Structure 1
Amino acid sequence: MAFIQPEQQFNPDALNNLVIGIAAEMGEHDSGVHQHRKAQLLYSSAGCMRFNLADTQVVLPPTRAAWLPAGVVHQVTMRNVVAYRSLYFEPETVASLPDNVTIFHVNPLLKALIDTMSFWSWDKPRHSQHNAFALLIEELLHADAENLSLPLPKDKRLQTWLKQLQQQQKIPASLKDMAIEIGASERTISRIFSNETGMAYQAWRQQWRLLSAIEQLAAGASVAQVGFNLQFSSDSAFISFFKQYTGTTPAQYFK
Structure 2
Amino acid sequence: MYAASGVLTVHTERGTSIVPANRAAWTPAGFTHQHRAHGDTDMRIVFLASSLARLIPDRPAVFLASDLAREVLLALTGPRNYDAASAYSRSARWRLLRVLVDELREADEQPLHLPEPRDDRLRAIARMLDENPAENATLDELGKRTGASTRTLSRLFRDELGMSFYEWRTQLRIYHALVLLADGHDTTQTAHACGWANPSSFIAAFTNVIGTTPGRYRTDRRTGAWASRIPGE
**What is the TM-score normalised by the length of structure 1?**
0.72
Give the equivalent residue in structure 2 for 1:233. Answer: 197
CA pair 58-172 structure 1, distance change in 2 beyond 3 A:
farther
Count how many residue pairs are aligned between Structure 1 and Structure 2.
214
Equivalence map 1:94-243=2 (5 Å): 94-119=53-78, 120-121=81-82, 125-168=89-132, 171=135, 173-243=137-207
Task: Structure 1 unaligned segments of length 5 or more: list them.
Answer: 1-41
Give the equivalent residue in structure 1 for 2:43. Answer: 84
User: Is 1:69 aligned to residue 28 of structure 2?
Assistant: yes
Aligned equivalents of 1:157, 1:109: Cα separation in 2: 43
Greater strand fraction, Structure 1 or Structure 2: 1
Deviations 1:20-47 (A, max 9, x none): xxxxxxxxxxxxxxxxxxxxxx112222
User: Is 1:250 aligned to residue 214 of structure 2?
Assistant: yes
- Does the CA-based 8 Å contact 1:61-1:215 persist in structure 2? no
- Does the CA-based 8 Å contact 2:13-2:31 persist in structure 1? no
CA pair 171-62 structure 1, distance change in 2 beyond 3 A:
farther
* DSSP 3-state at the match of 1:210: helix
Select between 90-99 and 120-129 the one with higher mean Cα deviation: 120-129
CA pair 142-196 structure 1, distance change in 2 beyond 3 A:
closer
Give the equivalent residue in structure 1 for 2:7. Answer: 48
Task: Structure 2 unaligned segments of length 5 or more: list them.
Answer: 221-225, 227-233
Greater helix fraction, Structure 1 or Structure 2: 2
Paired letter, 1:65: A
Q: CA deviation at 1:168?
A: 5.0
Q: CA deviation at 1:87?
A: 0.7
Q: CA deviation at 1:247?
A: 4.3
- Does the CA-based 8 Å contact 2:9-2:16 persist in structure 1? yes
Between the aligned residues of both structures, percent identity stands at 29
Deviations 1:119-149 (A, max 9, x none): 4249865234233223323333333432101
Select between 143-152 and 168-177 the one with higher mean Cα deviation: 168-177
* DSSP 3-state at the match of 2:17: strand
Q: CA deviation at 1:182?
A: 1.7
* DSSP 3-state at the match of 1:227: helix
Q: CA deviation at 1:160?
A: 4.2
Aligned residues: CA RMSD? 2.7
CA pair 184-92 structure 1, distance change in 2 beyond 3 A:
same
Aligned equivalents of 2:105, 2:83: Cα separation in 1: 25
**What is the TM-score normalised by the length of structure 2?**
0.78
Deviations 1:77-135 (A, max 9, x none): 22224321101122113322222222222234322221221142498652342332233
* DSSP 3-state at the match of 1:100: coil
Select between 57-66 and 192-201 the one with higher mean Cα deviation: 192-201
Give the equivalent residue in structure 2 for 1:26. Answer: none
